[in-house]
Structure 1
Amino acid sequence: MSPDRVCFTLQVKAGRIEEYTRRHAAVWPQMLRALKAAGWHNYSLFLRPDGLLIGYFETTSLHGARARMAATDVNALWQADMAGFFEGLDGAPDDGFTQLAEVFNLEDQLAALAPAPRHSNTKGD
């Protein structure tokens, strides 16, 4: 089964960008371990100077990965700690992000172009 590729946006408050960046330079070790155990792979955050945050991760199931994180104590603490950093957020950041639709993936399109395997016949083709 191919992984779900998840991309999302949030808006960091202008006056909190520096602190948000600093806090993500050393995320709590228990949070890092929980994300990995919950199936969040290849997880990255990108931050524009105006506070636009883009997140990306891969998982076998977005619903399952979110549910496994919601079941951890550290996630509730982290989400409460991070909630004040975002504009227009009603609730926890991991529930309030805007998921983006994937419209292009290089590997998927290259795989679709790959010719079907050629089978040789027994006459020495």
Structure 2
Amino acid sequence: MTKDAATTRVCFQLLIHPELLDEYIERHSPVWPEMLAEIEAAGRRNYSLFLGEGGRLIGYYETDDDAAAQEYLARSEVAARWEAEMGRFFVALDGRPDQAATPLTEIFHLDDQLTAARGAASEHPSPTDPAHEEGTTS
């Protein structure tokens, strides 16, 4: 599978108060159906949350236009209600969790590098390629 040129991958980290972890997990099992619909309508897909030691939460999603998705959710009454309820779970967060989380910088993506490597390989055949052997005709 290759990445569409317009797709943006977003990863972020937040810290959950350790004493509220069980409740936070419960609140996501399941998320309100109307909030799920708003996330989808905003253009976010392949959205996951991962919980690490000490309440470290890593989120990941893909979108074609992250600014538009952020703007859509900022105007959403459903998202505003959800985020108002979720805000108390996070340590040292200034603002709504969906808008205040700082995205992490992506430094490696397997599909991108495989695509680039395959493109470079097709432009420069390897020395073991039969087309490079002396006396080989095309």
- Superposition RMSD in Å: 1.7
User: Is 2:61 the counterpart of 1:57?
Assistant: yes
1:60 deviates by 0.6
2:86 to 76, 82, 88: 82
Relative to the length of structure 1, the TM-score reads 0.90
1:44 equivalent in structure 2: 48
SS in 2 for 1:87: coil
Question: What is the correspondence of 1:1-125 to structure 2 with a 5 Å cutoff?
Answer: 1-114=5-118, 115-116=121-122, 125=138
SS in 2 for 1:68: helix
1:49 deviates by 3.2
SS in 1 for 2:72: helix
Question: Structure 1, unaligned stretches of length 5 or more?
Answer: 118-124
Higher relative contact order (CA 8 A, sep 6+): 1
> In the alignment, residue 68 of structure 2 is paired with which amino acid?
G
1:121 equivalent in structure 2: none
1:41-72 alpha-carbon deviations (Å, 9 max, x no partner): 10000011310000000001111111111121
2-side partners of 1:62 and 1:2: how far apart? Answer: 10
1:103 deviates by 0.2
1:99 deviates by 1.1
- Higher percent of residues as helix: 2
1:3 deviates by 0.7
Structure possessing the higher radius of gyration over alpha carbons: 2
> In the alignment, residue 8 of structure 1 is paired with which amino acid?
F
1:122 equivalent in structure 2: none
Relative to the length of structure 2, the TM-score reads 0.82
Count, aligned residues: 120
Question: Structure 2, unaligned stretches of length 5 or more?
Answer: 124-137
2-side partners of 1:23 and 1:39: how far apart? Answer: 22
